[in-house]
Structure 1
Amino acid sequence: MKLEKGFGGFDAFVDRVTVTDRAVRQQLKHREAESKSPMTSHVDVDVPYRDVTSGPGGSRAPALPHFADIPFQHDYDRVRSLHNWELHHFISPISTQSVRWLGMEVTLRHPERLESAEPFVIVANHQSALDVFTMTHCWPKNCVSLLKSSLKYIPGFNLCTYLCHAVYVDRFNRKEAKNSLVNVMDAIVNHKRKVFIYPEGSRHASPDEEFLPFKMGAFVIAKRANIPIVPVVFSSYQPFYDYTSSKFERNGHVVIEALEPIDSRDFETANELAAATRERMHETYKRLNAEMRKVGSTKAH
């Protein structure tokens, strides 16, 4: 399989998993309404500091393998008992080497803004499955990620996120989504962990350089915990990667810029905090893309 076909296929595979997960949930919801009985299922949130147990009703999405069904989970749990930052420094070099193998260059600006020992929420723009590789270049110590629940069905990726204490959010279940936020607050308060979130919620790479509307989870967490938001902006992948046309060109260059921390206490509501953060990120995104186009034009001549 060609490299460009491979990455286009992986992005498409993530799309199919998300759609399948949503369809299964809707089917179960319909069955529950018909039977008028409570639905039993696996606990859908990966709790960072307690064992995840299964409910009596089996897997919520039987057509897709849940990590809890994988054999030898107790062996993975032993590894998972390591400190979060130790696991990151084991997995990060693998991701970094993958970026080199792809012929990509990644430049991180202002890494010092990610080095605070105190907790904060990182928010970043979300473009494609390539984010899995590039995000490790700006991943601080003692950090967990907040991910949509359908990603737990991605082979390999689910193992890495499990070992790194990722928290899954069921966006179709308000109660379980609230439980996820409780788990994140526990991580922040008791372990001083940073939290990495893609506030757009879905991968999006618009030719007109627009962002999707931001979901409020990251900003609610920052307000409730009284911790800052650190926006991180990735320049566009589109000059070298577009999975809709299966285009992937080697020697792509990505610039990641960490912005100044935004004090959540300066805003009365999470909505105001989200709007201010989105505006700063969008301005930076357009500036970075203009800069990269200028560099590309210079190289072409």
Structure 2
Amino acid sequence: MRRNHRLLAAAAIGAALIGAAPVPNFNDPADVAAIFALEARIAGELDADRLIADYAEDAVVLDTFTPGVFRGRAQIRDGFATQLAKIRSLAHTAPETIVATNGTFGCAAMQIAFRTEMKDGTRFTMNLRQLDALKKVNGRWQIVQQHISLPLDPKTQRALLDAPIQPRTLSWSARPVEAPSTTPAQAKAEIRLWMDIGGASQGLDMLMGYYGPGDDLLVYDSLHPRALIGRKEVRGHYAAVMNSYKDIKLSMPMFVADSDGAMGVQINTQNITLTLNDGTASNVALRQSDCMRRIGGKWYSFLEMVSYPVDQAAMKGMMTGPGAAE
């Protein structure tokens, strides 16, 4: 009898501790400063061996140019080394940088302006978008997922190297993240389901249910030249495409998710078949990454990038075929 009382008491204490889980320290200044320093360090680094030190062993990178899918440090190092070996000097500014972290996971959404001089003497400028997912491992921030892209001209599908950067920021809600409300394993399963269903949304209202839950959200879409901030801008941009089809089929050749049960990150490649309103079929292959939060038991994306990889020779987006997905 006394044993049962002790078990009940222990259960009650455990329940009380869970119920009293503190609200996470969102955007702790030390964490934000560390993430900014990491991003500045890798953006200007020309040595691939030093660069790779800021990536986790099992990190995933979706790079700007085809084929551009790198998994693990070895592939990432080799992929970047080929590009960096051709560069003599590199300068950059990041006029738009938005960081969100709960102390365990972090995300940085950036528009970065590069000024590059190549070893053959050519010079060029390029305004890239980047969405990094980071995780604190043994007290040190490391990149676990990275998505780099250029916006495309909607009519020609040509990559826009000089898309204007119009720096803006987010006004965070009063409670932008919550304490962990599920296990990391369950969170990963929920994020996969979130992507399976949400990635094949039927209609604009269904799609918008996966963003938020407030207005503090940002989307970099491949066919829009600047960041979409807030529900009104996101809804207005996606209205046309979401009203253009009556059926959608989605498969993901690559999908990787991670979470602590409160914040989550996912990165994937997609093959999509749309049945348009006139009955014809359209096939596209794209890439998507999200920084997510679990609010009230439901997952929402609040930082997102959708892109098509670019064929470097033609400087055009690869919207279908093997060059567009792994």
Higher Cα radius of gyration: 2
TM-score by length of 2: 0.27
Q: Which has the higher strand share?
A: 2
Higher relative contact order (CA 8 A, sep 6+): 1
